[in-house]
Structure formats: structure tokens, C-alpha cells
């Protein structure tokens, strides 16, 4: 199969959609399929910064999406079996145009859309599984994580050493620096690892804070192997969303910050399972970061609680979603 991805990444959108597609593409290439990405300038910059990038990059102007795509289809002699569309900004007219050209379309969703018109298959790990419906790839079994997470060994808490802070590729709500300052204010943390994504607009301010902080900060810029980072974290302070499931696979006790409505259900489940505590960004940011720092302080010095959290998530999650999605699309390619 040849699968072409329609997806964007930027400071405002974040990089989660692109990373999800990369996770899928990595498995496709691994098993002998072909992956291509239609990417604009900011997305290309992020893609080329990745050491684990898999897939052919096609420069693409999303300002005139349908017209550009029509022209590309008309000029290309390359056979494309599926278009994968990932992003809430893409509307039904795009899917209808692809249908007109008789392409199969796989649509990623996160409980956001009310209609899937024009989609041959819908992939949504947040929705309840639908039995007997091969077009709806719903449920946790279809959650995508990059290949690094399929190969990671989970260390027990007692062998882990780091308090790790990460708010994704862009940290759109600028939470990283306030969290670091709140941790420093407790005067109890001597070292913190902080992951700074490629789209984080506060990078220089974080670096400046690192230089003068009383804590020793280990700054990881555009970290290439988050599986290793999470698997060595004794406790993580992280954005919810896709990172939540990376943490779950790595069996890492976590404090999750919910910044979007479509993250609430999954984070609520994580808290019910017992391996995470959740905080919702719907109040004063100063109060929020202080509450997070207080909870981190409470957990950090109580190894028994951290071990209980790790035990609660052990074996509940896997990183095989890409394999399952590939198998489903292979079947639909034959039957559709």
C-alpha cells in the first residue's frame, strides 16, 4: 500500500497530529508499505528535525488545500491507495473531493467530529469500540505510539531517578516555565529534567531560568526518544493528550494537565486507574501550578505511593496500535 498523509504542525496547532501520523508511517515502512507526507513549511522543519523520520516529504501549500490537491492528483502518476487525514481544520469538502477521485480516506478523530461523511475508515481511540463494524477503528487498541515505545523496557520506580516536566511540542499555554518556578519555590527539588519541544515559544526564557536556578535543570531540546525519557522518570508532570498514553505504556506515575475538552475523559480514566492525578487548566494559572508543585512534592518523597501508581498501570497499555490499523486498512483495501 501507498498511504499519503494530509496533516499539519505548527506553534499554534502543536505537533501531536504530525507525531501520530509519524507513528503510523514508521510501522508502514517497517512492514514494506510506502508513506508520503504532504507538508507545509513549518511542518517540514519539524519533520526534518526528527532522527526517526520515516516517509517521503512532499512540499505542500495548505492555504489553497483543495486546489493544490487537485493539481497534484492531476499531475502525479504515482498510485496512492489511501489518504490519511489528521486535523480538525480539515472539513468535509476535502473528503468529498478525494471521494470524487475515488480515493479511500482514513480519518483520524478524537471524539470531536459529529459526522464522518466521506471517510472510508475512521480511527478514534477515544470512542467506545464498535463490534462488527470494520470501518470504525474505535477504542484503545487503535491508539498510535511511535516505534520507540514498542521496544522500551519499563524500569521499576525504585530504579528511576528523574522528575520530568514536558508539555509537548509547543506548550501552547506556556506552562513549562511557571511549573519550574513553582518546583523551585518548594526548595525541595535539587534536579529536574525538562523537555523543550521544537515549537515552544518560551525556549529562551526557560534556558535563562536554567542558568540562574537553584535547581539543576537538565534541558532536553526536541527529545528524539521520549520512551527512554519517560521510562527513566520517577514522576512526570505532563500535558495530557498523546503524551498521557506514552506515559501509560512506560508505566510512569504522572501528574497530567488537561488543556482541552477532548482530553478530559481519557485523563479521568487514568486517574480512576490509579496511576495519574489530573489537573484542569480552567482556573488561575498561578493557583494551578502551585497545586501541581505541592502534589509533586507530596509524591516525590513517598516511594510507596509511587510504586502503587506504577503497579496500577502495569500491563494495561501497549504500543501496537499501528500494527492493528495497518491490518485493518489492508483488509479494507481488498474489500472496498
Q: Is 246 annotated as a binding residue?
A: yes
Between CA 241 and CA 250, with CA 247 as vertex, the angle to 5 degrees is: 150
> What residues act catalytically?
17
Please state, in angstroms and rounded to a whole number, the distance separating the CA atoms of residues 224 and 325.
24
Q: Is 290 annotated as a binding residue?
A: no
Please state, in angstroms and rounded to a whole number, the distance separating the CA atoms of residues 195 and 180.
11
Counting beta carbons within 10 angstroms of the beta carbon of residue 225, is it exposed (0 to 12), middle (13 to 18) or buried (19 or more)?
middle
DSSP reduced 3-state for 134: coil
Residue written as grid cell 508520503 = 36
Please state, in angstroms and rounded to a whole number, the distance separating the CA atoms of residues 288 and 281.
7
DSSP reduced 3-state for 302: coil
Please state, in angstroms and rounded to a whole number, the distance separating the CA atoms of residues 292 and 308.
19
Residues in the annotated binding site for substrate: 146, 246
Amino acid at each position: 500500500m501507498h498511504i499519503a498523509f494530509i496533516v499539519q504542525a505548527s506553534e499554534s496547532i502543536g505537533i501531536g497530529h504530525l507525531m501520530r501520523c509519524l507513528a503510523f508511517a514508521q510501522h508502514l515502512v517497517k512492514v514494506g508499505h510506502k508513506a508520503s507526507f504532504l507538508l507545509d513549511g513549518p511542518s517540514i522543519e519539524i519533520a526534518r528535525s526528527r532522527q526517526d523520520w520515516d516517509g517521503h516529504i512532499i512540499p505542500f501549500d495548505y492555504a489553497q488545500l483543495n486546489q493544490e490537491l487537485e493539481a497534484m492528483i492531476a499531475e502525479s502518476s504515482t498510485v496512492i491507495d489511501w489518504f490519511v487525514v489528521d486535523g480538525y481544520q480539515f472539513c468535509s469538502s476535502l473528503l468529498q473531493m478525494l471521494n470524487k477521485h475515488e480515493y479511500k480516506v482514513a480519518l483520524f478523530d478524537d471524539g470531536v467530529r459529529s459526522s464522518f461523511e466521506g471517510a472510508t475508515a475512521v480511527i478514534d481511540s477515544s470512542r467506545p469500540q464498535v463490534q462488527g463494524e470494520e470501518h470504525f477503528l474505535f477504542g484503545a487498541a487503535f491508539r498510535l505510539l511511535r516505534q520507540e515505545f514498542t521496544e522500551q523496557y519499563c524500569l521499576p520506580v525504585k530504579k528511576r531517578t528523574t522528575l520530568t516536566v514536558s508539555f509537548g511540542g509547543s506548550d501552547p499555554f506556556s506552562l513549562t516555565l511557571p511549573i519550574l518556578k513553582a518546583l523551585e519555590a518548594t526548595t525541595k527539588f535539587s534536579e529536574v529534567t525538562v523537555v523543550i519541544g521544537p515549537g515552544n515559544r518560551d525556549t529562551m526564557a526557560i534556558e535563562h531560568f536554567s542558568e540562574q536556578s537553584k535547581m539543576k535543570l537538565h534541558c532536553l531540546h526536541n527529545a528524539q526518544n521520549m520512551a527512554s525519557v519517560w521510562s527513566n522518570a520517577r514522576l512526570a508532570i505532563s500535558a495530557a493528550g498523546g503524551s498521557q498514553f506514552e506515559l501509560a505504556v512506560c508505566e510512569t506515575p504522572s501528574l497530567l494537565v488537561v488543556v482541552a475538552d477532548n482530553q478530559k475523559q481519557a485523563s479521568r480514566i487514568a486517574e480512576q486507574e490509579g496511576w495519574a492525578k489530573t489537573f484542569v487548566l480552567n482556573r488561575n494559572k498561578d493557583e494551578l501550578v502551585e497545586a501541581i508543585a505541592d502534589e509533586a512534592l507530596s509524591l516525590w518523597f513517598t516511594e510507596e505511593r509511587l510504586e502503587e501508581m506504577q503497579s496500577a498501570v502495569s500491563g494495561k497499555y501497549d504500543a501496537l496500535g499501528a500494527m492493528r490499523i495497518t491490518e485493518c486498512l489492508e483488509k479494507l483495501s481488498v474489500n472496498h
